[in-house]
Homo-oligomer: A and B are copies of this chain.
Amino acid sequence: MKRVYVIGAGMTKFGRHPDKTGRDLIIEAALETVDSVDRGIDLQKDVEASWIGYFTPELYEHQGQYGPITSDCLGLVPKPAWRTEIACASSSAAILTGFFAVRSGVFDLVLVGGIEKMTTLSTEGVTDALSIAADNIFELPAGITFPGIFALIAQAYFKKYNVTWEDLQAIPIKSHHNGTLNPKAQYQSEVLELGNKFGKKKGISFKDPMDFLKSPLNPTVAYPLRLFDCCPITDGASFLLFASGDVAKKYTDTPIEMAGVGNGTETLSLHDRPEMTSSRATIYASKMAYKMAGVRPKVIDCAEVHDCFSINEVIQIEDLGLVPRGEGIKAAKEGRTSLDGDIPINMDGGLKSKGHPVGATGAGMFCEIWKQLRGEAGKRQIPDAEIGMISNVGGSAASAGVFILRR
């Protein structure tokens, strides 16, 4: 079995790109990925296959076959390509496919990534498109969409661990702070700064982020979750280049090893699960990744985890074993998950501040860990980061992709 290394990573700015099609985003992200390779790469000549995650091109762009489209717009025809989908973890599935393909020895150098072009639809249209990640037979007919699903999860968590919505606000405050250090983030402003921007129109100013977060300017989306507990609607694309051991050395002196990978599933409907404040998908995927990498949670230097809603960052770091059960919020409040904490989480601003172009999100997290392990994360660099983790989930964590990267 061959070892698999990451030799390049790139992404578009995450945000609203009304002037760009999905194909434009793919080309932009792929070109940055090509440019990131230390000793250069000839995309058309060297890359043998590509896989792309895209959750719902059918609804956003009335378009299928994004595999051949990617192949076509990057000049890779007639090489292999297809699309992978597990909702918000769609690019994790592309990453896993590329990993299997290189590890199996069938290919030595592949391009993997993801994309989502969401702002073609209205907020209502996006809410409907996202809702198909939930159960169309048992959940959606009850009138629930994702803010409602995560609101139920948040309420279950608050009750179980005796914490409050006010406690949870440590998460978006941290995420927006980290976002200020990331030029690729959709929002590059502190919570307080955004609050005062919102307040200005109404002649209101805030001195403390909590004053804004508790104000009607941060409205309830689905009780207890408010606007700043929810990630935004985003366009974006992101890619990675994977190479087998022998080949990786040709392109870089600092290949980053794919030390462990994992994937898992959970029931699609919340009501079928043994536990609402945990996902067996993430637990299974992380156990698989830890086992393959031969490491335990305590060696992880930093992690990117899936905070589609603030409560999910908390559940993620608990499911991954990075903090004890019920202590995810406490860890954030104590600064343990901040950039200067002992287990920094979502250094790039997370989905909340960096944005969440669904199909591109997993690969986008990957870009951050790749930069961190190469010491190229600029103002948000974690000193001496050697082992990083990515955890990307689909829907209400009915699916999960977990990766451990090692310098």
Contact = CB atoms under 8 A, between A and B. Distances in A.
B103 A87 contact: no
A85 B85 contact: yes
Interface stretch (A52-60, A203-211, A320-328, A379-387): A52-60
A277 B264 CA distance: 43
Interface residues of A, number: 70
A79 B140 CA distance: 25
Contact of A65 (B268, B272, B284, B285): B268
Nearest to A137: B21
A262 B80 CA distance: 8
A263 B97 CA distance: 13
Nearest to A105: B1
B100 A104 contact: yes
A358 to B, nearest CB: 10
A49 interface: yes
A116 to B, nearest CB: 12
Contacts of A66: 85
A96 B86 CA distance: 17
A65 B398 contact: yes
A394 B63 CA distance: 13
Interface in A67-84: 67-69, 71-72, 76-84
A1 B1 CA distance: 6
Contact of A68 (B56, B67, B86, B136): B86
B72 A265 contact: yes
Q: How many copies does the complex hold?
A: 2
A101 interface: yes
Given A64-B56, A85-B82, A72 B267 contact: yes
Interface of A: 1, 21, 23, 49, 55-59, 61-69, 71-72, 76-87, 89-90, 93, 96-97, 99-101, 103-106, 129, 132-133, 135-137, 140, 261-268, 272, 280-281, 283-285, 288, 394-395, 398-399
30 contacts: A1-B1, A1-B105, A23-B137, A55-B64, A57-B132, A63-B136, A64-B87, A64-B132, A64-B133, A65-B87, A65-B133, A65-B268, A65-B395, A66-B85, A68-B266, A68-B267, A68-B268, A68-B398, A69-B268, A76-B265, A77-B265, A77-B280, A78-B264, A81-B86, A81-B399, A82-B90, A82-B93, A99-B104, A100-B106, A106-B261
Given A62-B132, A63-B132, A82-B89, 19 more contacts: A49-B263, A55-B64, A58-B129, A58-B132, A62-B136, A65-B398, A68-B394, A72-B265, A72-B268, A72-B398, A77-B280, A78-B280, A81-B263, A82-B93, A83-B84, A83-B93, A84-B84, A97-B100, A104-B104
